[in-house]
Amino acid sequence: MQATATVLVYSDNAITREQVRLAAGRRPAPDVPPVGYIECATLPAVLSELEKGGVDICVLDGEAAPAGGMGVCRQIKDEIFRCPPVLVLMGRPQDAWLATWSRADAAVTLPVDPVEFSESLAALLRTRLAANH
CB-CB neighbours of 109 under 10 Å: 18
pLDDT of residue 52: 95
Contacts (Cβ under 8 Å, ≥6 apart) of 110:
16, 61, 62, 63, 89, 90, 91
pLDDT of residue 2: 57
DSSP letter for each residue of 64-78: -SSS-HHHHHHHHHH
pLDDT of residue 5: 96
Domains and CATH numbers, the chain: 5-131 (3.40.50.2300)
Confidence (pTM): 0.95
pLDDT of residue 3: 86
pLDDT, one tens digit for every residue, the chain (133 residues): 458 999 999 999 999 999 999 999 999 999 999 999 999 999 999 999 999 999 999 999 999 999 999 999 999 999 999 999 999 999 999 999 999 999 999 999 999 999 999 999 999 999 988 887 6
Which spans in 4-131 are helix H? 14-24, 43-52, 69-79, 96-102, 114-131
Helix/strand number for the chain, H first, E second: 5, 5
